[in-house]
Amino acid sequence: MPFAGHPTLDSARAWLDGGTPQQADRVLQECAAGLVTVRRGKGSPSLAAGPRRRAR
């Protein structure tokens, strides 16, 4: 699977909560679908994925 939203958010949140990211409010994560930015928001994290790719 090239991208899965919930696992992406969960792993980024774990990093934001316990790691030392370069930017305190966001993590850039690479997956098979490309680069995904996860931002720490009020309440829960949010993501901004790149454009959708069609499976062939």
Residue 53, domain member (yes or no): no
pTM of the entire predicted model: 0.64
Domain membership of residue 11 (yes or no) is yes
One DSSP character per residue, the chain reads ----HHHHHHHHHHHHHHS--SBTTEEEEEETTEEEEEE--SSS-EEE--------
* Within a domain: 22: yes
Residues 19, 22: Cα–Cα separation, whole Å: 10
How would you write the pLDDT of the chain (56 residues) with one tens digit per residue? 667 777 888 888 888 788 777 787 888 888 877 888 888 877 777 876 666 666 66
Q: Give the pLDDT confidence score for residue 56 in this predicted structure.
A: 62
Under a CB-based contact definition with an 8 Å cutoff, are residues 15 and 21 in contact? yes
Q: Supply angle C-alpha 42, 27, 21, rounded to 5.
A: 100
Domain-located, residue 18: yes
User: Is 55 part of any domain?
Assistant: no
In a domain, 44, yes or no: yes
What pLDDT shows up at residue 55?
61
Range of the domain at 12: 5-48
Our count of domains for the chain comes to 1
